[in-house]
Every structure is written in C-alpha cells, then in structure tokens.
Amino acid sequence: MIRRCLTTASIALFPVAAAAQTSAASGSDRKDLVSIAMFLSIVAATVVITYRSARSARSKVGFYTAGHAVTPLQNGLALAGDFLSAAAFLGISALVYTSGFDGLLYAIGFLTGWPIVLFLMSERMRNLGSFTFSDAAAFRLDRTPIRLVAATGSLVVVLFYLVAQMIGAGKVIELLFGVNYVVAVIGVGLLMILYVTVGGMQATTWVQITKAALLLCGGTLMGIGVLWHFNFSFGELLIAASKIHPKGQAILAPGGLFAEPVSAISLGLALVFGTAGLPHILMRFFTVKDAACARKSVFYATSCVAYFCLVIPMLGFGAVSILMSDPSYFHVGASGQFNRITDLIGGPNMASIHLAHAMGGPILLGFISAVAFATILAVVAGLTLAGASAVSHDIYGQVIAKGQASDAREVLVSKIAAVAIGTVAVLLAYAFENQNVAFMAGLALSVAASCNFPVLAMAIFWRGTTTRGAVAGGLIGLISAVVLVVLSKVVWVAVFKFTAAPFPYENPALFSMPLAFLFTWMFSVTDRSARGVRERAAFDAQLIQSEIGLPQAAG
Amino acid sequence: MPRLTPEQTRAILADPNFTKLAGGRARLRWVLSAVTLVMFFGFIALVASARSLLGASVPGSVIPVGLLLAFSIIVLVVVLTGVYVQRSNSQFDELARRLNREFAR
C-alpha cells in the first residue's frame, strides 16, 4: 500500500513518467481549432515580448538581470511562475485526483520552501551578489574553486530539471495538440533558445509573468466553476468526490505518501531546502533594485503560490467528482468497464485538462491547454538562462578570464552557452523519450538542497567557513545525492532493471544534506592555511555588506 | 566589492545602529525559520502518527480535520512571510539606510 502510494506520488510529481507511459494515447482527437488558435497567440505574444526586449539584452547587466529594473510585484509573479511548472500544475492536481489528501501534502511541502527562501536567502543574495548566486558564495572565499563547485551544482540541477521538463513537454504537447513528440521537443527547444539569446532576462521574466498571470486566471476560473457546480459548498464537493472515487472516504485522510517517517522527512527536506538552492529562482533576486525589493517580491511570490495551493485541491477534487462519472473521458474496455484512475485518457496528469473541457467546453479546454504550454515554455527558458549564466559568468567570466572579460564577450559566451544547453536538452529529451525519467526532477531538487544550499548557507551565515570547507561540503553533497539516487529504486530498479535497490529510500536529502553541512564544518575547522585565516577575518566585511548593502562596483 | 578599510569595518561593527539591525534581523530570521520548520515537520509527524484523527470530520461539518489543518498551514505560511516583510519594512530598512548614508562615502 505504502509502496504503491509512493509510486503514484512520484509519477504525479514528475508528469514525465506518467505521460511517458501513456504516450500518444489519444492525441489526435484533441486537435481543436480553438486550442491551436490560443496556442499560436501565446507563441506570438512571447515572440513580441522577446523582440521588444532585444535592446536591453545587449549589455551584461541587461542580459543577466534585466537592468535591475523589475518591480517587486513583477518579480513576485515571475518567481511564482518559475515555481508553478507543468509538474506543479498538472502533477499536483493529478496527485489530488489519484490520492486526494496526499496531493495537498505535496503542495504544502513545495510552498514551505518559500518562507525559507525569504528569511535566509533573498536579501543577502541581492546585497552580496550581482548576477548569479555563486557571487554571494564567493564573496569572501576563493573564487576559482567556489565558482567551479557552485557552477557544477547549478548545471546539474538545470540539466536534469530541463530534460525532465522537456520530455514532459513533448508528451503533453503531443497529447494536447497531436503534434509528433520530436517536433514538439525541437519546437520547445527553438523557442526557449530564441527567448534567452535574443531577449535575455527581460524576455524570460516577461514570458514568465505572462504565463503566471494566465495560469492564476485559468486556475481561478476553473476553481470557481467547480465550486459553482456544488453551490459554493466545499463540503458538498468533498462528499461528491468521496462517493465516486474508488478509494472512497480514504481520499479525505492521509494515505501512504508521508506514512513512512524516513522517506517523509527526506522528501520534506528536499522540497523545503531545495527551493532555496535552485539557481533559476535565486537568479531572480538580482533583477530588482535592492534587498528591500527582493524581500517584497518573495512575499508576492509566496502569496501567489499559496493561493494556487488552495485552488489545486478544488481542481483535483472537482476532477474526481465531475469526470469520474463520465465514461467519455476514459478508455472504456470491451465490457464497458474502466478504471477510474488509470484509464483516464492521457493518464491522471490530464485531469485538469479534461476538467477544463467538462466545465467550459472546447474554449476553456483550448485556453487551459495553451496555458499549460506557456507554463512549459516559460519554465524551460528560465532554466536555460540560469544554466547559461553559470557557464558564462561563473566559469568563463570569473574562472577562465579572472573577471577581465569584456561585457560584450561575456554576453556572447552566455548566448553560445544557451544554444549549447538547449541543444543538449533537446538531444537528451530525444534519447530518453521512452526511458523512465521519474528520477530526474527529484535528483535536481536533491542536488539543490545538498550542494547549492549548504554551500551558500554556510558561506553567508557561518564565520568559520573557508574555501576548503565549502568545496568539500559542496562536492560531498553533490556526489552523495547523485550516488544515492542512482542506488535507489527510481534508477537502480526502474532504469537499470536490477531487482532490489541498495538504497531503500526514494529521496537522498536526509543523508546527503547533513553530510554536506558536516563536511563543510569539518574541513573548515581543520583548515589552518593563511587563506583560511583571511577568509574568516573577511566575514565582518561580508556581514556588513549583507546587512546594509553598500553600493557595489559591478563585477 | 566595496573596499572597507579595517577601521571602517570596526567602526560599523561598533555602531549601535548596526548591532541593533544585525541582531534584530538575526533574531527575526531564526525565530520565523524555526516556526516554519516546526510547523511543517510537525504536520508531517502528525500525518505519520495520527492518521485517523486527521481523517475525522470537524464536528458539525463534513470537512476533515487534516484538510482544515492543511489549509490553515497554507494561510499561516503567507502570514509568516507577511510578518517578516512588515517588520523589515518598518524597522530595518530605515536603520540600513541611515548606516548606508553614514558609511558609503
């Protein structure tokens, strides 16, 4: 029971896996003219945004940070947009659809990362850094090793997240619009490369804001529709849902998702602290004017995400009570029987999409499909930009050119890196089309929580941290997270086809994250080098800068 | 990186406004982080240990206790971030501005 629920959970979190299993089940009959018209207008709008941002993307400050000119409300929407990926929108409502209450637990885990980002990261990030989160980590530490570790962590997170999103995107687009998988993946790849290389951070931000606004409107519309259907009584909705769901009353109580304490805590740690280590989220704090604006933008982002967490159960329970009685949304067997969970056309990840059709016909279906598409585009663009910045600013600009590269040259490297990352992501998405890639998004989050977050937190908050300690901690966090994921069921059994996994838990964060902190501490206190002494002494200057944000020279 | 001389660094660290700012902000940060984490992991512990309690309905309603708690946590998360932002806006920004003006020259 527990095992089955956990599997359902991982499928729902990573729509990739579920979609992969049900690929092209019924793509072509959903090719509605309305969907295609809305889809085309969204693509057109993003291209216009990109074209208009092109001028700002020529300078380094413009390319990486949209000239620090984004307002807190705009940045809050963009942050929320980065976070509300297709995995969150389709995946969590699918989890509510299949397991009820457990889906809500997942949503809460995601949401709880935000106050941590606010309290620990947002202001300090803005005061200590300029372009990437490595700036803050390397403020008083030796830039070459620290940036190499931070950039590696960023690239691992970005690539796994990106490939997971791309495969999910290909499958979802195939289902929504009846486009061939390879065409869909190449199309998404080309669009995201266009946004990033031509429009830089400003285009990426505005695509994200547009999508967040559309998603919030679409979610609200559907939430109101569901409540209207039940005379605005949440109780009636729950009664109707528990009557028709195969699990009955059990969907209103905790199921198996958090029943096993070690896995529950481990997943909780990855969800809560992973957010504070995601490079594409941390990068957004540089797009605003100052630390106060960074802080305010997290408040707006948290409010949007929280609002969405309240809407998602309406959609999930609404999909249960409205769709499950209507065979037209299911693959009906020869005997007229169908499984109300697994036989949903396109799999449970399509629950919100079908719900849109059930409530608003082809027009709402077209709108919500187009919103889901916009969500995919905006998130992959943000990831590509974060990856490109890690290559151009951290590795090229600071490590190879030692901070001596001209602005124009660094921006050029960044654009080349964006093309390269986009191409690699498309190729990997093509190669892994029929593989089980459920581990990818989980791995990305675990690495963020076990490498990026500990390095950053220790460098910012603990006087004793030295370069030696931070490098050791970051590397052990990165390596242990990757190795433990490989040894766990999602890779060892699902990908390599061994019978039993040596690592019995789904998520490594409970082990890899403390290990990273322990190693940082251990290799820092034993560091007797002159560099270590200097770095500890420089903590005072860093503390002052992080608190009051004296005007910095760019660089 | 701004180049603060060792004397300037010492002067700022000794400034009563700076100690008030850094100390106050640290207290607020760690207290609110602790509240957030206790709330979240406490809820997870409750889910793992008291499942039947969470599944029971709130008296006089059909809404289960667990669902109500979950919604309350979602609202509380926003309240906590709101408290941090409000306190920072009203207390810390002014102190930081004053120190910035004093030492940025």
Dump the DSSP string for B46-81: HHHH-HHHHHSBPTTSSSBHHHHHHHHHHHHHHHHH
Q: How distant is the Cα of A107 from the closest Cα of chain B, in angstroms? A: 9
Q: How distant is the Cα of B65 from the closest Cα of chain A, in angstroms? A: 9
Closest to A383 (Cα-Cα) out of A155, A555, A172, A58: A155
| Inter-chain residue contact B48 with A552, CB threshold 8 Å | no
Write out residues in chain A with pLDDT < 70, as ranges: 1-32, 438, 552-555
Taking a C-beta distance cutoff of 8 angstroms, is the pair A513, A477 a contact? yes
Q: How distant is the Cα of A306 from the closest Cα of chain B, in angstroms? A: 6
User: How far apart, in whole angstroms, are the C-alpha atoms of residue A96 and residue B43?
Assistant: 18
| Inter-chain residue contact A298 with B81, CB threshold 8 Å | yes
Put simply, whether A230 touches B (Cβ < 8 Å) is: no
Q: What is the pLDDT of residue A34?
A: 78
Residues of B in Cβ contact (< 8 Å) with A111: 74, 77
Residues of A in Cβ contact (< 8 Å) with B101: none
| Inter-chain residue contact B85 with A295, CB threshold 8 Å | yes
Taking a C-beta distance cutoff of 8 angstroms, is the pair A89, B17 a contact? no
Q: What is the pLDDT of residue B3?
A: 67
Q: What is the pLDDT of residue A72?
A: 96
Question: In chain A, how many domains are there?
Answer: 1
| Inter-chain residue contact B100 with A115, CB threshold 8 Å | no
Residue A344 is classified by DSSP as: B
Q: How distant is the Cα of A537 from the closest Cα of chain B, in angstroms? A: 10
Q: How confident is the model over A41-59, as pLDDT tens digits?
A: 989 999 999 999 998 888 9
Q: What is the pLDDT of residue A275?
A: 92
Q: Which of A252, A398, A461, A543 would you mutate first to test chain B, the one with the most B CBs within 10 A?
A: A252
β-strand partners of A330: A344
* Tokens linked to A113: 């990362």
User: How far apart, in whole angstroms, are the C-alpha atoms of residue A128 and residue A44?
Assistant: 38
Q: Determine, yes or no, domain membership for A168.
A: yes
Please identify which residue in the block is written with the tokens 């990106």. Answer: A162
User: How far apart, in whole angstroms, are the C-alpha atoms of residue A521 and residue A63?
Assistant: 36
CA A261 from centroid of its chain's CA atoms:
25
Nearest Cα residue in chain A from B48:
A259
Q: Determine, yes or no, domain membership for A524.
A: yes
pLDDT tens for chain B, 105 residues long, are 456 788 888 999 999 999 999 999 999 999 999 999 999 999 998 988 888 888 888 888 888 999 999 999 999 999 999 999 999 999 999 899 888 888 776
Q: Which of B67, B75, B91 would you mutate first to test chain A, the one with the most A CBs within 10 A?
A: B67
| Inter-chain residue contact B2 with A545, CB threshold 8 Å | yes
Q: Determine, yes or no, domain membership for A553.
A: no
Task: Return residues 290-349 of A near B (CB < 8 Å).
Answer: 291-292, 295-296, 298-299, 302-303, 306, 309-310, 313
ipTM more than 0.90?
yes
Q: Determine, yes or no, domain membership for A555.
A: no
User: How far apart, in whole angstroms, are the C-alpha atoms of residue A58 and residue A67?
Assistant: 11
* Tokens linked to A6: 């956990």
User: How far apart, in whole angstroms, are the C-alpha atoms of residue A530 and residue A528?
Assistant: 7
Q: How distant is the Cα of A548 from the closest Cα of chain B, in angstroms? A: 5
Q: How confident is the model over A303-351, as pLDDT tens digits?
A: 999 999 999 999 999 999 999 988 989 988 888 888 888 888 888 888 9
Residues of B in Cβ contact (< 8 Å) with A119: 28-29, 32-33, 36, 84
| Inter-chain residue contact A265 with B70, CB threshold 8 Å | no
Q: Determine, yes or no, domain membership for A396.
A: yes
Residues of B in Cβ contact (< 8 Å) with A552: 1-2
* Tokens linked to A552: 């910095």
Taking a C-beta distance cutoff of 8 angstroms, is the pair A161, A459 a contact? no
Q: What is the DSSP string of B23-51?
A: HHHHHHHHHHHHHHHHHHHHHHHHHHH-H
Nearest Cα residue in chain A from B10:
A540
Domain of A225, in residue numbers: 2-548
Q: What is the pLDDT of residue B101?
A: 84
Please identify which residue in the block is written with the tokens 């919100």. Answer: A352
User: How far apart, in whole angstroms, are the C-alpha atoms of residue A377 and residue B58?
Assistant: 42
Region of residue A70 (left: phi > 0; alpha: psi -120 to 50; beta: else): beta
* Tokens linked to B41: 């992991």
Q: What is the pLDDT of residue A549?
A: 84
Please enumerate, as own/partner, the contacts of A534-543 that have beta carbons within 8 Å and a separation of 24 or more: A535/A140, A535/A141, A535/A142, A535/A465, A535/A466, A535/A467, A536/A463, A536/A464, A536/A466, A538/A140, A539/A140, A539/A463, A540/B9, A540/B13, A541/A140, A541/B4, A541/B9, A542/A128, A542/A139, A542/A140, A542/A460, A543/B13, A543/B22
Q: Where are the alpha helices (DSSP H) in A324-431?
A: 351-389, 407-431
CA atoms within 13 A on the CB side of A479: 9
Q: What is the pLDDT of residue A31?
A: 52
Counts for chain A of helices (H) and strands (E), in that order: 26, 0
Taking a C-beta distance cutoff of 8 angstroms, is the pair A286, A68 a contact? yes
Residue A88: CATH number of its domain: 1.20.1730.10
